[in-house]
Amino acid sequence: MPLKINPLRRYRELRRLRRITAILAGYGLEEIVLLVRGRRFPVRKVRVDAATRGARLRGALEELGPTFVKLGQILSLRPDLVPPDIALELSKLQDAAPPIPFAQIRETLESELDRPIDAVFAEFSPEPIAAASLAQVHRARTHTDEIVAVKVQRPGIARVIESDLDILFHLAQLMERHLSDGERYAPVDAVTEFSRSIRKELDFVHEARNAEIFARNFAGDETIHVPRVFWDYTTPRVLTMEYIDGIKFSDLDALEQEGLDRRVLARNGARAILKQVFDHGFFHADPHPGNLLALPGNVIAPLDFGMMGRLDERLRDQVAELLFGVVERDVDLIIRALTDMGCVQAGSDSAGLRRDLLDMLDEYYGVPLKRLDFRRLFEDGLDLFHRHHLKVPAGLVLMGKALTTEEGVGRMLDPDFDMVTMAKPYVKRLFVRRYTAELKPGHWLPVLERYLRLVKELPDEIETALQKMSEYDRTDNSPRDFRIWERVAHAIAIGSIYIGSAIVLGFEVGPCVDGLSIIGLVGLGIGVLLTGWHAISNRGKYKG
């Protein structure tokens, strides 16, 4: 059945594509325009002669609107796709927009909540307290006298984003097909990942769930207050949460006027992000000063849970190995950890990577912790990733961004703030957990179960092997078959000694010395002796 194309949608996309190419060309980005349209055409030139390519790209994305602003923010976290100078500029992208009329907000609210706005809220301020590209936030009061912040999605924004995503997929396909490095950078995969991310941000139910997970993780922590979600007034396009009347971290004068301790706030914020990253594996990906409010008692209230980072247990283990390699200046361990993460691709210049890692480690080795610049260390690492075309796990870059952002906030609050020293116990705990996890009963029980099953079956297996051996006579015309079965029998017997000894050691069967079973150690010694005797006595027997 032929695919039906909506002519109106196609017309809108063509108009949008023409506007996109005109803006890109206006910022001196003709190479992208030529890729899309295959020809030049007259455009309004923006004054960009003195601007860097990163600044020009940032200006173009800001003019193109929310989809492209979000894309730029994501690309700033992908050193495997964009060079460091462009990534730095894209990280400056601001997600702000002029407010939309209250009549449109009312229409969205009543459509989503399926009742008049007065039936839901006793009061609703028509003036927004914040306006961004995807939504704006209003202060309201419920009929149960609770003050709330209501986040309402901009009307029609989902349709605009879907149209822009179609155009981005088209552009990514052209890049993959026509650019020499297109396949290596996998632009289609990058757009697919971006589309998944921005669609999640458009679903406010997803953000509400993130907030509740965050709240559970910090239950009982008196230094963190997570706004409560009002589920009765929350839908995919409307998010209602507890209104937090706090002071933004960026307002230093107000913090001091309220008698808050900037040094304590800096440490509370650092402890919070370190717990999120290294203990929970679920963290706020953008803890900038505008997303953090200070409350009485130096309590911190984080806002905006749309973009969260995740480090699963496997990735946290790999991060532990990577960090340990950095601390020990063990380049082989670092490369192994990067390879386990999937960062090092086939055909990579391993000698060049090893050399650059050594140079980077030498630059920071011996530097006092207080003089270490976490941001510079992170940016140098991203530069190395880009130069060697290393693939970067999204969680790893978000982790680095969250930690460097928090370090910047900490130093803004307290010039003597030392993020690296605060991070040391968390990194150490992560490393210890990485290498003690294998000693936990939960890890070993399945392994021991398999070994016990093997030991239980060993007598039958040995008996079968001996029966096979007895079928052959040493005067038989098939001495090779006999020798094969003889080797099998010896291997099974010696292997059973090793396995049994390992189990005895694992269960610490007495008598023991310093927690080591003497029986197990003797068994291992016998196994080693038998292995050596078998190798020496049969040297040269099994040729041909």
Closest CA to 290 of 275, 274, 304, 306: 304
Q: CA 55 to CA 424: how far, in whole Å?
A: 36
Cα–Cα distance for residue pair 154/238, rounded to 1 Å = 10
> Facing residues of 121 across strands?
142
Residues pairing with 224 in the sheet: 300
CA angle at residue 115 from 109 to 118, to 5 degrees? 80
Q: What is d(CA 300, CA 255) in angstroms, rounded to the nearest whole number?
A: 12
Residue 80 annotated in active site:
no
Cβ-contact 423, 370 below 8 angstroms: no
Q: Is the dihedral of CA 379, 384, 388, 390 positive or negative?
A: negative
Inter-residue contact 378 to 87 (CB < 8 Å): no
Residue for token digits 């953008």?
286
Q: Which H or E run contains 504? A: helix 479-506
The torsion angles phi and psi of 467, rounded to 5 degrees, stand at -65, -40
**Per annotation, catalytic residue among 114, 253, 261, 286:** 286
CA dist 180 and 425 (Å) reads 46
Separation in Å, CA 193 to CA 80, 196, 485: 14, 5, 55
Contacts of 360 (CB under 8 A, 6+ apart): 380, 381, 384
**DSSP string over 458-479:** HHHHHHHHHHHHHT--TTSS-H
In whole angstroms, give the CA distance from residue 321 to residue 339. 11
Catalytic residues: 286
